[in-house]
Structure 1
Amino acid sequence: MSHHATPVPRHRAPAQPTTDYDVIIIGAGSAGLSAALALGRCLRRVLVCDGGPPRNAPSPGVQSFFTRDGIKPAELLRVGLAQLEPYETVEVRRAQVQRVKPAGRTFTVEAEGKSGRTFTATARKLLLATGVEDELPPVPGMRDLWGRGVLHCPYCHGWEVRNQPLAVYGQGKIVTGMALLVSRWAPDLVVCTDGPGHLSDNARRRLRQQKIKVNEEPISHLEGTAGGQLRNIVFQSGEKLARHALFVHPHQHQRSTLAEQLGCRLTSKGAVWINKHSQTSISGLYAAGDTTSGPQKALLAAAEGMEAAIAIHETLTREECPK
C-alpha cells in the first residue's frame, strides 16, 4: 500500500492578521472615493468613513476637472459614490472617526455612526483623506460670501470672474504673488491689505508695473447679496470700493486631528508628510488629497487617492506573497 505524502510547501505565506477590512479610508471626498474605487477593483475589503460635506461644498462648481468641468461638488461625490456600488467589497458608512489605535501590524478605528452609536473596526492599512479647513480672516461678511463673492483659487474661479473689477486681500509676499497671478484675469485689480500691507519696495514696484492699485485702509466689512455675490468692500472710513469678487489666500488647518494624535510627521506648513509611496511617517498609514502638501484641486486629490490605493495594494500583496 503506497502512501502519497502531501508535498510540504517550501515557503508558507506569513499568517496575515485577521481584520474586519484590508483598508479603512477616512474621508469621502475626491481622494477617498478615488482610492476606494481602485481598491474595490483590486477585490480589497474596504470601509470608507464619510465624515460629511467636503471643503468645496459652498462652491458653485468644480472647475478644470477633466470631463466634469463645472459639476456641482455634491453631484461629483454623488456620481463617485454611485460608481462604487458594483464593488461588493467596498462599504461606505456615514461616520466620524474619533480615534485610531495602532496595534502591531493593524489599526483599530473607533468611530461614531450617524445614529450617534459608536463602533470599532480593524484594518491592515489606513488611508487618511480628511482634507483641510480654511481659516478665513475675521472680516465681517467674508464667511457669508465664501465660495461665490470671496474666492481662494484663480485656477478654480478666475474664468468665471474674468474682466470684472476684482480685489485681492492680504499682506506681504503672499498677497503680492496672488495679485500678480489674478491680474491675468482682471484689468482692474486692487490689493486690499486691511491696515499696513508690509509690502517691500520691490513688491510695490511689481504691482505698479502691472497697474495693480494698493489700498491700505482698514476694512470694516464686506457688502454682498443674499445669493453670496460681493458688491462692495467697505472701509472703516465709510468709503466703499465696488468689486465683483475678492480673492484671499487663507491659512489652513488639518480638518481632522488624527494625524497629530498618531504622531505623524507634518511639514512646516502643517500638511501631513508622505513619502513617494503615499505613506506617512507611520508604517501602514497612508495619506492623500489636501491633507498632504501640494496644489489643492479636486482632480489632483483624485489622482493622489489612486496613487495611494496602488501603493497600499502592492504593499498588501507583498505581505501576502512570500519571497
Structure 2
Amino acid sequence: MKIQFKTTYEVIIIGGSYSGLSAAMALGRSLRSVLIIDGGNPCNKQTPHSHNFITHDGEKPHVIAQKAKEQVLNYDTVHFLEDFALSGKKAENGFEISTKSGKTFKARKLIFATGIKDVMPDIEGFSACWGITAIHCPYCHGYEFKSDKTAIMANGEHAFHIASLVNNLTDDLTILTQGTPDFDENQRAKLKKHDINIIETPVTKFEHQDGSLEKVILEDGTSLTLKAVYAGLPFEQHSDIPQQLGCSLTETGHLKVDLFQKTEVPGIYACGDNTSRMRSVAYAVSTGNIVGAMVNNELTQEDF
C-alpha cells in the first residue's frame, strides 16, 4: 500500500535508525503524527554483528533495524520516508524541513537522530576493516577478540584509558601512537607493569581479507600480526541542519542536550550517537525512548 504523505506533522524525526525508530515508537503509541526521514546510511553498515544489547546479542545490525522499522510502522500515525533532509528553517508554529527529492514538510517539533560520520585515516585498508576488526568500543566488540593479538591506535589519555579496559580481555596488547608517545611517568609505569608495548612508528597499511585484519605494516617496512585494532577516530555531525537552526555543539563535537535530550533551541531534541560518546545500539535506543516521551509530554502540556 502506497503511503500518502502529509505536508504537516506533529513531529519530524530526521534519522531512521535505532534512536530515531525508538523515539517514533513512543510517539506512535501516543497517537502522534510522525514523519521519519532517513537517508539509508547508518554508521555501522559494515559491522557484522551487534553486541551488548540484551535480547539482540550477536544479531546483525540491519536485522535489528529492519525489525524495529516493521514494528514502528505498525502504528498508523507514523510514516517513513526514504529521502535525505537537506535543510531546515524555523516556521510559524514550528519548523520546516526540505529534502533532497524536493519535498517540504512542516512540524511542531524536531528530533535529530542523525548520528555521526567517522573521518577515516589515510591508511590503506583501514576503511575496509572499520567496524569489523578496526573497532571503537571494548563493550561492543572486545569479547569477540578476547585473548587475541590486539592493538590500540591512539595516544595519550585516550589510549591509556582504552588500554586499561582491553587489558582485561587480552594479554597481547600493543599501543600504536602514530608518533611520539604522550604518556606521563605514572602511565608509562602502569603500561610497563602490564607488558603493554608502545610503538611510535606510524602505521601505513592494514593487510586484511574482506575486513578481517591479518597484519599492520609500519612506515619503516616492519609489520605486526594482529587480529583487532581499537581506533578512536575524529568525526563530523552527519547533518548540519541542527546548527542551521541554532543548536550548539559541545567541546567534543556532539549536539548539546540536557538530561532529557533537549537542545538549547525550543522544540528541538536529539538522540543517539550525535549527542554522546556512548556509541552503542542500546544507548541509541534508550535515548530515543526518552526523547519520544519528552516530546509527547511537551505537546501534551501545550495542548491540554
Maintained 8 Å contact 1:140/1:221:
yes
Cα 1:157/1:305, change in 2 over 3 Å: same
Q: Does 1:158 align with 2:142?
A: yes
Deviates more, 1:171-180 or 1:150-159: 171-180
Task: Give the superposition deviation at 1:174.
Answer: 1.1
Using the alignment, how far apart are the partners of 1:105 and 1:19 within structure 2? 14
Give the partner amino acid of 1:252: F
Maintained 8 Å contact 1:105/1:284:
no
Maintained 8 Å contact 2:7/2:104:
no
Q: Identify which of 85, 91, 94 aligns with 2:73.
A: 85
Paired position in structure 2 for 1:29: 17
Paired position in structure 2 for 1:320: 303
Q: How does 1:30-49 map to 2 (within 5 A)?
A: 30-49=18-37
Maintained 8 Å contact 1:47/1:90:
yes
Deviation per residue, 1:184-225 (Å, 9 max, x gap)? 111111111122122222221111111111111222211111
Runs of 4+ off more than 6 Å: none
Identical pairs, percent: 34
Deviation per residue, 1:5-61 (Å, 9 max, x gap)? xxxxxxxxxxxxx97101000001110000111111100000000111311111011
Using the alignment, how far apart are the partners of 1:194 and 1:40 within structure 2? 48
Q: TM-score, normalised by structure 2?
A: 0.95
Paired position in structure 1 for 2:289: 306
Paired position in structure 2 for 1:53: 41
Q: Identify which of 187, 195, 201 aligns with 1:211.
A: 195
Maintained 8 Å contact 1:65/1:299:
yes
Q: Does 1:65 align with 2:53?
A: yes
Paired position in structure 1 for 2:154: 170
Task: Give the superposition deviation at 1:107.
Answer: 0.6
Maintained 8 Å contact 1:105/1:124:
yes
Using the alignment, how far apart are the partners of 1:216 and 1:276 within structure 2? 40
Paired position in structure 1 for 2:3: none
Using the alignment, how far apart are the partners of 1:294 and 1:188 within structure 2? 26
Paired position in structure 1 for 2:234: 251
Paired position in structure 2 for 1:10: none
The secondary structure found in structure 2 opposite 1:158 is helix
Using the alignment, how far apart are the partners of 2:7 and 2:214 within structure 1? 55
Q: TM-score, normalised by structure 1?
A: 0.90
Structure 1, gaps ≥5 residues long: 1-17
Q: Does 1:262 align with 2:262?
A: no
Maintained 8 Å contact 1:36/1:309:
yes
Structure 2, gaps ≥5 residues long: 1-5
Q: How does 1:72-151 map to 2 (within 5 A)?
A: 72-112=60-100, 117-151=101-135
Maintained 8 Å contact 2:86/2:98:
yes
Paired position in structure 1 for 2:280: 297
Paired position in structure 2 for 1:14: none
Equivalences, count: 299
Maintained 8 Å contact 2:8/2:106:
yes
The secondary structure found in structure 1 opposite 2:27 is helix
Give the partner amino acid of 2:76: E
Maintained 8 Å contact 1:38/1:309:
yes
